[in-house]
């Protein structure tokens, strides 16, 4: 029933947004409710999929499920770009909000028959689950991944739009076109999640997560400075970035179901959702602040290497990237390499 009611909450919030949002506070409140709904869909869904998959295919199964989230996000972004010129943002948001209501009958059908399987008699949040080092590290690694992902999402469409505007497109056309290209790059995240989950079944959760972290971290540090280069190269690297940045998502979602004891799995997933989705709240704000800072530097220090908005992205996410790499792959006994990576970023955490 949690899955069903959270689907209702998310869909209703999406529909009401273009009707009731009048300022930053009303808009933020509606988005907050939508976020609650999405979190209540995502984690119970992971648990359902994980419980029905065999251990040797669990990463693949959760990868397919999580990739649907990425594909839906990319499709909505692309549809926004198509609808925006004719309907404006309110009309586009209303259409997409109504489309989201299709998920309600699917949620009812998907949740049917699973309620009794997950009932353990526990009706409270158990913080002692965080005493398990493996669980705590997985949760923190997922938080680092969420920070990285949503900094990118909060920055990518604006970055591409600014690049296109600098090349002569008007603001509306640049925004619409930038959203469509961002959707293309983000849509590859669906394939990235799928590939990451599949690789984790073969290589192990730790190795697959480390591979994804190193690849996405390397690309992120250079991608923001490519706006003045050839558009084709920018698109190719952006597509690779969209593929890599999502590849470890299913790894952490699968690992938490394997690391937590059955009686505390719900609490472990609750903490993972709270911290992970909390990072998604702060990450776009951080991206926006860095864009504002870059614009200010552009006006005051034209020669600065971070004086244009395209330079703000790697600086915003480089530190959390180092920390998330350190967190991702420490197994239950830990290992020296990853402890060194943790010291590289010191004691500060995203």
- Kindly report, residue by residue over 104-141, the tens digit of the pLDDT: 777 677 666 555 555 555 556 778 888 888 888 989 88
Q: Is the pLDDT of residue 299 over 80?
A: no
**DSSP conformation letters of 124-186:** S--GGGGGSHHHHHHHHHHHHHHHHHHHHHHHHHHHHHHHHHHTT--HHHHHHHHHHHHHHHH
d(CA 260, CA 198): 21
Condensed to tens digits (0 to 9), the pLDDT of residues 276-286 reads 878 877 877 77
d(CA 258, CA 265): 9
Give me the count of residues in the chain: 350
DSSP conformational letter for 263:
G
The answer to whether the pTM exceeds 0.75 is no
What number of other Cβ atoms are within 10 A of residue 90's Cβ?
12
Are 145 and 217 in contact by the 8 Å Cβ rule? The answer is no
Cβ contacts of 293 within 8 Å, gap of 6 or more? 312
Are 164 and 55 in contact by the 8 Å Cβ rule? The answer is no
Of 65-79, 184-198, 312-326, the range with the lowest mean pLDDT is 312-326
Are 76 and 267 in contact by the 8 Å Cβ rule? The answer is no
Percent of the chain with pLDDT over 90: 3
pLDDT of residue 112: 66
Condensed to tens digits (0 to 9), the pLDDT of residues 148-186 reads 888 887 778 888 888 888 888 888 788 888 888 888 888
Residue 225 is encoded by which pair of tokens?
Answer: 């400075």
pLDDT of residue 334: 37
Condensed to tens digits (0 to 9), the pLDDT of residues 234-253 reads 999 999 998 888 888 888 88
What are the extents of the domains in the chain? 2-111+128-343
pLDDT band at 346 (very low <50, low <70, confident <90, very high): very low
Are 290 and 307 in contact by the 8 Å Cβ rule? The answer is no
pLDDT of residue 297: 66
Of 262-266, 285-289, 344-348, the range with the lowest mean pLDDT is 344-348
**Beta-strand runs (E) in the chain:** none
**Stretch 26-48: mean pLDDT, rounded?**
82
Condensed to tens digits (0 to 9), the pLDDT of residues 202-218 reads 888 888 888 888 898 88
pLDDT of residue 331: 37
Q: What is the mean pLDDT of the chain?
A: 75
pLDDT of residue 236: 93
Q: Is the pLDDT of residue 330 over 60?
A: no
* CATH of the domain spanning 2-111+128-343: 1.20.1250.20
């Amino acid at each position: 029933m949690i899955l069903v009611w959270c689907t209702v909450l998310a869909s209703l919030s999406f529909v009401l947004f273009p009707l009731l949002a009048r300022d930053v506070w009303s808009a933020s409140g509606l988005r907050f409710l939508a976020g609650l709904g999405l979190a209540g869909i995502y984690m119970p869904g992971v648990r359902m999929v994980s419980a029905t998959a065999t251990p040797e295919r669990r990463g693949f199964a959760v990868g397919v499920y999580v990739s649907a989230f990425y594909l839906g996000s990319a499709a909505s972004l692309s549809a926004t770009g198509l609808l925006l010129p004719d309907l404006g943002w309110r009309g586009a948001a209303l259409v997409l909000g109504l489309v989201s209501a299709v998920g309600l009958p699917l949620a009812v059908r998907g949740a049917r028959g699973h309620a009794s399987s997950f009932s353990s008699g526990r009706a409270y949040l158990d913080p002692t689950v965080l005493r398990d080092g493996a669980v705590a590290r997985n949760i923190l690694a997922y938080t680092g991944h969420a920070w990285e992902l949503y900094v990118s999402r909060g920055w990518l469409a604006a970055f591409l739009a600014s690049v296109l505007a600098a090349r002569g497109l008007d603001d509306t056309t640049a925004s619409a076109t930038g959203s469509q290209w961002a959707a293309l790059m983000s849509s590859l995240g669906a394939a990235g999640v799928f590939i990451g989950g599949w690789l984790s079944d073969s290589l192990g959760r730790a190795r697959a997560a480390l591979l994804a972290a190193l690849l996405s971290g390397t690309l992120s540090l250079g991608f923001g400075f490519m706006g003045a280069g050839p558009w084709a190269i920018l698109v190719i690297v952006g597509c690779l970035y969209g593929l890599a940045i999502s590849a470890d998502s299913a790894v952490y979602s699968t690992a938490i179901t394997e690391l937590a004891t059955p009686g505390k799995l719900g609490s472990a997933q609750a903490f993972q959702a709270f911290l992970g989705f909390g990072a998604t709240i702060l990450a776009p704000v951080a991206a926006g602040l860095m864009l504002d800072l870059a614009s200010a530097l552009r006006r005051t220090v034209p020669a600065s290497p971070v004086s244009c908005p395209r330079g703000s992205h790697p600086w915003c996410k480089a530190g959390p990237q180092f920390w998330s790499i350190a967190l991702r792959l420490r197994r239950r006994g830990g290992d020296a390499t990853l402890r060194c990576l943790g010291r590289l970023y010191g004691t500060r955490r995203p």
